[in-house]
Amino acid sequence: MEKNTNEIVIEVKGLKKSFGNADILKGVDFQVRRKENLVIIGKSGSGKSVTIKCIVGLITPDAGEIEVLGKSMVGVSHNQLNETRKSIGFLFQSAALYDSMTVRENLEFPLRRMDKKISGSEIDKRVKETLDNVSLSDAIDKYPSELSGGMKKRAGLARTLVMRPEIMLYDEPTTGLDSITSNEISRLILDLKERYNTTSIIITHDIPCAKITADRVIILNKGNISAEGSFDELSNSDDQLTKSFFHI
């Protein structure tokens, strides 16, 4: 059954986070609806990565509320957090593949841990199918050190998608890649959204990536949201700060 696309799947209210004397987030509020791709743009150190790490529970916020699929991610037990995390995929900036494991083992790792009842044949089927979807079937038995930057990102993406998450969080998915590979990854993100019906938050500096993937864009500046709208609205904005992100 098609799920309601107006349903709010991620809600962030008054999110605050400081590290030492540095106030990174000063009260961030936003919502993400089902099947929406929200792109967050901002300068380095503006708190983009901190925001999505708070959403997935890797960083505990100082104040504010975060709800994912109607469940709170703040002040809950580790087990409750892990239960909600089963619905969230997180692509790290460096892809974060486990060096000591092959691509196949990297994909099997979360599957075996999050779903204890899954059979060996089902795992094998899911791994091969997911790798096929990111065009990485040939690298199934390779180690991360044998992969190129783009292939690592694809493998990292496959590792998150193998869990069939409802929500995807991308932390700078195109950083460190050449423009052609960046474009391929951006198209892949869009393609996977259609294929897996995922809701996504994409953190990026890469404006072409934002253009391809965004349904809505948020600009984070000095710990606050300074602008919000569609890519076209923001790229044609008269505001100097907003303009500076889109016109290099």
Partner 1 sequence: MALPENGDAEENGFGFKKYILKQLSDFGDAMQFTGKIILSYFPFFVKPPFEINEFLKQCYMLGNKTLGLVLVTGLIMGMVLTLQSRPVLAEFGAESWLPSMVSLSFLREIGPVITALICAGRIGSGIGAEVSSMKVTEQIEAMEVSATNPFRFIVMSRVIACSLMVPLLVIFSDIAGLVGAYIGVNIYNSMSFPLFFVKSFAGVDFMDLFPAILKSFFFGLAIGIVGCYQGYNAGKGTESVGAAANAAFVISSLVVFFIDLIAVQIVTLIHLFI
Residues in contact with partner 1 by CB under 8 A are 53, 56, 58, 82, 85-86, 88, 90, 92-94, 96-99, 109-110, 113-114
> With respect to partner 1, which residue has the nearer C-beta, 66 or 212?
66
**In the complex, least distance from residue 226 CB atom to partner 1, rounded to whole angstroms:** 27
CA dihedral (229, 188, 125, 104) positive or negative: negative
CA atoms within 13 A on the CB side of 114: 22
**In the complex, least distance from residue 53 CB atom to partner 1, rounded to whole angstroms:** 8
Classify 126 in phi/psi space as left (phi over 0), alpha (psi -120 to 50) or beta.
Answer: alpha
> With respect to partner 1, which residue has the nearer C-beta, 192 or 219?
192
Report residue 43 as tokens: 């300068």
Q: Which residues contact 134 (CB under 8 A, 6 or more apart)?
A: 154, 155, 157, 158, 161, 188, 192
Q: Is residue 26 within 8 Å of residue 143, measured between CB atoms? A: no
> How far is the C-alpha of 142 from the C-alpha of 245, rounded, in Å?
38
DSSP H/E element including 233: helix 231-235
The most distant pair of C-alpha atoms in the chain lies apart, rounded to whole Å, by: 56
**In the complex, least distance from residue 174 CB atom to partner 1, rounded to whole angstroms:** 16
> With respect to partner 1, which residue has the nearer C-beta, 98 or 118?
98
**In the complex, least distance from residue 230 CB atom to partner 1, rounded to whole angstroms:** 30
**In the complex, least distance from residue 94 CB atom to partner 1, rounded to whole angstroms:** 5
Tell me the DSSP string of 60-89: --SEEEEEETTEE-SS--HHHHHHHHTTEE
**In the complex, least distance from residue 163 CB atom to partner 1, rounded to whole angstroms:** 8
**φ/ψ of residue 107, rounded to 5:** -75, -35
> With respect to partner 1, which residue has the nearer C-beta, 87 or 183?
87
> With respect to partner 1, which residue has the nearer C-beta, 66 or 217?
66
Strand partners, 220: 42, 225
> With respect to partner 1, which residue has the nearer C-beta, 74 or 114?
114
> With respect to partner 1, which residue has the nearer C-beta, 159 or 193?
159
**In the complex, least distance from residue 98 CB atom to partner 1, rounded to whole angstroms:** 6
